[in-house]
Chains A and B, each alone.
Chain A
Amino acid sequence: AAGVIQSPRHLIKEKRETATLKCYPIPRHDTVYWYQQGPGQDPQFLISFYEKMQSDKGSIPDRFSAQQFSDYHSELNMSSLELGDSALYFCASSSRQGENGYTFGSGTRLTVV
């Protein structure tokens, strides 16, 4: 079965650079969620989209933005990267408001040097 696809798997950027992370949800899933997991931390919710509209916002820095496109894939854009942005970034998708569960991608490991 198709899963949530995230790209790239690994990304190394320098401070103050920009990064774009991509997420392709499971077909027919209408909601995408982005999470950030720092070393030894639990996943922290950043932002979500339902039917291409932002539906909820968490602890996402103003330097970050995201959107969901017409094909339901989502991109997380991160600018003016800081060392503290180094983390594992997960995307998850769901349908029916999560009643059928949430499927997570394998994540993008971002390292800022």
Chain B
Amino acid sequence: AQSVAQPEDQVNVAEGNPLTVKCTYSVSGNPYLFWYVQYPNRGLQFLLKYITGDNLVKGSYGFEAEFNKSQTSFHLKKPSALVSDSALYFCAVRDESSGGYNKLIFGAGTRLAVHP
């Protein structure tokens, strides 16, 4: 079965420091991976995706993610965190088992808290 795991419930980082939000995946075949951010009482906003190509993917708001096939990871990173980055972050993988109409499967989410 396809799945993603976010091992950290919460990540705390000081403003200006680099941040990493971890995600590992389990899929059969090549993964399609996504990161979304959710602010309180808001919808899911797309940050970036990996389909194929360069392992380092650049996305919105200065975020990037590194696809690592050997470690089956897709960690989200940002060189310098902002207080406004504080939110809930979801990693997701496209389900390849549903006959071609591929829903997203989400991780449990990681709450990022950036302190001034």
Contacts and interface: CB of A to CB of B under 8 A. Distances in A.
Interface of A: 31, 33, 42-43, 45, 48, 50, 55-56, 58, 90, 92, 97-99, 101-107, 109
Most buried by B among A42, A90, A105: A42
Interface of B: 32, 34, 36, 41-46, 49, 51, 90, 94-95, 98-109
Contacts of B100: 97
B39 to A, nearest CB: 11
Contact of A103 (B32, B42, B46, B102): B46
A103 B108 CA distance: 19
Given A55-B98, A106-B43, A98 B36 contact: no
Given A42-B90, A42-B108, A101 B46 contact: yes
Contact of B42 (A56, A92, A106): A106
Contacts of B36: 104
A97 B90 CA distance: 20
A43 B44 contact: yes
A102 B105 CA distance: 12
A98 B90 contact: no
B99 A55 contact: yes
Contacts of B41: 109
Contacts of A43: 44, 90, 106
Contact of B51 (A33, A58, A99): A99
Nearest to A10: B41
Contacts of B51: 99
